[in-house]
Chain A
């Protein structure tokens, strides 16, 4: 009896013993092709933990177009000019060298759910038994009239995926005249990184206070109020940047006029600005939408929270920002890393013929810098609630910092270095 045959049989036996449907025998752990798409906080972690949790027996391929990982968390410090993008950049080599993940530098163009293959932009076809999609967010540019054209003309920027746009946004702010206006618009939640826009406001105001003190930061928020750490951010704005920041809730951007650098709103009067950082509404990554997997409001993907398998497609698991979230679950890098671990364990379990873990747990920790050094956090613990088939935060747990501290600033960097290593090294 060869090894594969033996494993298949033992999986089938376990399936019977656990009263499962014996799916595991069809593709056992060792022979299954597991393909992960997207090497951000979610996908990279999934690939690493699929290898680790299978004692390096699972065959894992990770497909990612970028040559290296650039962290979105902390990238507001680059926007504000106190840090360089290189400090947030991690190579992918560790996943191959330390964990035996097979990496393909390419984009996934489409998914054939019948044949169980993904087609790459280069033309290559990759077969999968299990597919993990972690493509991050998609930007709904067409929700704001003229935004696509304004982006092309270099008038507007998002910088909501860390990389060249992050440094370009800092460049625009650095080149702005003293007395100029930086405008940031925030879409209705849910969007990637709830406290991110408000942290960016701090970082830009910090830069302007030191370098161009006559300038203003205008914040147009489509939401009714600051969506995360509201009291802490407002206190920081008043104390650290008096007279610089003007926060305007319930301001929904509908159009951009690139020629006159004008922002138009649903209700309020037009506003002109020098730097236009316009964040449109967000949805699941384009690949998910194209594959017909965005089954929640045509924006996000519904998943089974025990294994993050798409409700719409068997053997396709979706993690990170693209999912329809559980109550109080933020779209964050930390959370994507946690999704990945639950998913990796569930896939290993299924392919091994184990009963699924009935009680997965997730945490979230998010640090925001109010200047170069001082930080506030929000933390939460999410337990699976069987009766409701979703994750819920535990009453009495989680919470916020009482105030910004430099100690938590050092923790933020410690968090970053450890989560980068946990996801990529």
Chain B
């Protein structure tokens, strides 16, 4: 059993690029799943994984970097940036949630 445990940990941490026990590895996997689910709340309008279908006027988000996406959403949340729906939606998310959304959907800097 001890061997199984360490094998499990090794494989999972290998998959995730994280060193640690199985619980920690599972924790990271779970968090990644929930981050994905949170970002998926955007997909109805902006497309699965933030990739829109062609020829629509809804602003495309998948070319924004993680930091710019986060800034824009925070500006919608604070009322600094005008818009139709996003100012109303951004106010419903916490700052931490907007950070997660940007980390999942934004292009990495």
Residues of A within 8 A of B (CB): 1, 6, 9-10, 13-14, 17-18, 49, 52-53, 334, 337-338, 341-342, 344-345, 348-349, 352-355, 357, 359-363, 365, 377, 379-383, 393-394, 396-399, 401, 405, 407-408, 410-411, 413-415, 417-419, 421-422, 425
CB pair A354–B26 under 8 Å, yes or no, is yes
Q: Report if A13-B48 is in contact (Cβ < 8 Å); known contacts: A361-B41, A407-B57, A407-B84.
A: no
B45 & A14 in contact (Cβ 8 Å cutoff) = no
Q: Is B107 an interface residue (CB 8 A)?
A: no
**B30→A422 contact, CB < 8 A:** no
Residue among A53, A352, A393, A394 making CB contact with B26, cutoff 8 Å: A352
Measured CB to CB, the residues of B under 8 A from A are: 4-5, 7-8, 12, 21-23, 26, 29-30, 33-34, 36-38, 40-41, 43-48, 52-53, 56-58, 84-85, 88-93, 97
Are B47 and A422 in contact, CB atoms less than 8 angstroms apart? yes
Are B44 and A394 closer than 8 Å at their CB atoms? no
- Which of A352, A398, A417 is close to B89, meaning CB atoms less than 8 Å apart? A398
Q: Is the CB of B57 within 8 A of A394?
A: no
Given A354-B29, A354-B33, A365-B56 contact (CB < 8 Å): no
CB neighbours (8 Å) of B12 from chain A are 10
Residues of chain A contacted by B46 (CB below 8 angstroms): 418
> Is B40 a contact of A421 with CB atoms below 8 Å?
no
The 8 Å CB contact of A363, one of B41, B53, B58, B84, is: B41
In the assembled complex, the Cα of A349 lies from the Cα of B31 at a distance in Å of: 10
B19 nearest CB across to chain A (Å)? 16
Report Cα–Cα, A377/B84, bound state, in Å.
9
CB nearest to A416 among chain B residues? B56
Query: Beyond A341-B41, A379-B85, A419-B45, is A14–B57 a contact (Cβ under 8 Å)?
Result: no
Contact B41 A415 (CB under 8 A): no
The complex places the Cα of A14 from the Cα of B20 at a distance, in Å, of 13
Chain B: CB-nearest residue to A41: B44
Q: Would B45 and A414 count as touching, CB distance under 8 A? A: yes
A415 touches B22 (CB 8 A): no
**With a CB–CB cut-off of 8 A, which chain B residues contact A53?**
33, 36-37
Q: Are B53 and A421 closer than 8 Å at their CB atoms?
A: yes
Chain A residue numbers with a CB within 8 Å of B52 are 414, 418
Point out the residues of chain B lying under 8 angstroms from A417, CB to CB.
Answer: 53, 56
Instruction: Provide the residues of chain A in CB contact with B90, threshold 8 Å.
Output: 397
- CB pair A418–B37 under 8 Å, yes or no, is no
- CB-based closest 7 A-B pairs: A381-B92, A414-B56, A397-B92, A17-B23, A354-B30, A414-B58, A345-B37
Q: Nearest chain A CB to B85's CB is how many angstroms away? A: 5
Within the complex, the shortest CB–CB distance from A376 to chain B, in Å, comes to 10
Task: Decide: A342 and B37 in contact? CB cutoff 8 A.
Answer: yes
**Interface contact A411-B88, CB-CB below 8 Å:** no
A10 to B25, CA, bound (A): 11
Give Cα distance in the complex from A381 to B41, angstroms. 10
- A397 close to B57 (CB less than 8 A): no
CA distance A306 to B4 in the complex (A): 32
Cβ 8 A contact of B37, one of A13, A360, A407, A425: A360
Could you say which residues of chain B place their CB within 8 Å of the CB of A405?
Answer: 84
Cβ-neighbour of B38 out of A18, A361, A394 (below 8 A): A361
Cα-based distance from A377 to B47 in the complex (angstroms) = 19
The answer for the CA separation of A32 and B93 in the assembled complex, in Å, is 34
- Point out which of A381, A397, A415, A418 has the most chain B C-beta atoms below 10 A from its C-beta: A418
Complex Cα spacing A278 to B50, Å: 40
Q: How far is the CA of A425 from the CA of B8 in the complex (A)?
A: 34
Contacts of A414 on B, CB cut-off 8 Å?
45, 52, 56-58
Residues of A within 8 A of B48 (CB): 52, 421-422, 425
Which A residues are CB-close (under 8 A) to B43? Answer: 341, 418-419, 422
A349 surroundings in chain B (CB, below 8 A): 30, 33-34
User: In the bound complex, do residue B44 and residue A365 qualify as a contact, i.e. CB atoms below 8 Å apart?
Assistant: yes
A-B contact sample (10 more), CB < 8 A, given A381-B92, A413-B56: A49-B40, A354-B26, A357-B33, A363-B44, A379-B88, A396-B91, A405-B84, A407-B57, A408-B84, A418-B58
The answer to whether B44 and A415 have CB atoms under 8 Å apart is: yes
CA distance A334 to B97 in the complex (A): 20
Considering the chains assembled together, what is the distance between the CA atoms of A27 and B4 in angstroms?
19
- Distance A53 CA – B90 CA, assembled complex (angstroms): 24
- B residues near A348, Cβ cutoff 8 Å: 33
Residues of A within 8 A of B84 (CB): 377, 401, 405, 407-408, 411
What separation, in Å, do the CA atoms of A18 and B26 have in the docked complex?
9
Closest to B58 in A: A414
- Of the candidates B7, B38, B97, the one having the most CB atoms from chain A within 10 angstroms of its own CB is B38
